[in-house]
């Protein structure tokens, strides 16, 4: 399909699917913004068509409900990590793509996905959070920001708790900016331990609609 063709996504609220919404299209900035604005995100494997998802239920993290374990609190107090924002987006997404995942042979963060999200970053919509230890990148995460919702995409770590520290500082910044929620897409025990919870797709889309009425904070964070 030509990149010049306007993509029209089906309304997730009218879908009977538990997740898959559409296939095909492109990864242009305008397409991705439209998708995220509708509560839809791309997720596919190398060699397959672009697949677009809107899970039901949806996993979200409300910043006020972020949980800090005793060990994480100790790590925060230790000052072992320095956290920065938007300093090495390409390295962060590259590391997210390369880190082995349990039960996955290939990363869903393909070269096309990397190029697409780098463009989103250059346009001020995608952001990275980096945790450094002794001035070396030890972990981080990246995602997309629209309105007052942050759509978390992936995280990685080379040192224990590095990605959690990055998330902690992201939550702190988003709380200061009065963000409504962090979309973490699908349920995992790890995310639940940090305070994330499942809500219905209908409720997620309702919250997202209200969140998108607020100004998007674009540019470098």
Q: What is the pLDDT of residues 87-126, one digit of tens each?
A: 999 999 999 999 865 555 557 899 999 999 999 999 999 9
Measure the CA angle with vertex 140, ends 138 and 146; round to 5°.
165
pLDDT class of 6 with cuts at 50, 70, 90? confident
Q: Kindly state the greatest CA–CA separation across the chain.
A: 52
Question: For the chain, how far is it from start to end, CA to CA, in angstroms?
Answer: 34
What's the whole-model pTM score?
A: 0.94
For residues 143 and 96, the answer to whether their CB atoms sit within 8 Å is no
Domain 58-211 listed as CATH 3.40.50.720: no
Q: Give Rg (Cα) of the chain.
A: 17
* Every domain range in the chain assigned CATH 3.40.630.70: 58-211
Domain 12-53 listed as CATH 3.30.70.3550: yes
| Calpha distance 214→221 (Å, rounded) | 17
């Amino acid at each position: 399909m030509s990149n010049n063709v306007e993509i029209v996504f089906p309304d997730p609220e009218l879908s009977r699917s538990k997740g898959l919404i559409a296939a095909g299209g492109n990864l242009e900035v305008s397409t991705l913004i439209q998708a995220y604005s509708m509560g839809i995100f791309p997720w596919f494997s190398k060699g397959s068509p672009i697949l677009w998802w809107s899970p039901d239920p949806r996993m979200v993290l409300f910043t006020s409900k972020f949980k800090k374990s005793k060990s994480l609190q100790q790590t925060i107090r230790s000052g072992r990590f320095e956290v920065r924002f938007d300093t090495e987006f390409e390295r962060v997404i590259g590391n997210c793509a390369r880190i082995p995942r349990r039960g996955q042979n290939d990363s869903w963060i393909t070269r096309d996905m990397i190029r697409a999200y780098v463009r989103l970053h250059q346009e001020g919509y995608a952001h990275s959070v980096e945790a450094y230890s002794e001035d070396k990148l030890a972990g981080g995460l990246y995602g997309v920001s629209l309105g007052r919702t942050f759509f978390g995409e992936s995280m990685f770590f080379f040192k224990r708790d590095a990605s959690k520290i990055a998330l902690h500082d992201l939550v702190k910044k988003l709380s200061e900016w009065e963000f409504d929620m962090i979309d973490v897409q699908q349920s995992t025990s790890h995310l639940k331990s940090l305070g994330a919870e499942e809500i219905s797709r209908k409720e997620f889309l309702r919250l997202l609609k209200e969140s998108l009425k607020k100004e998007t904070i674009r540019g470098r964070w």
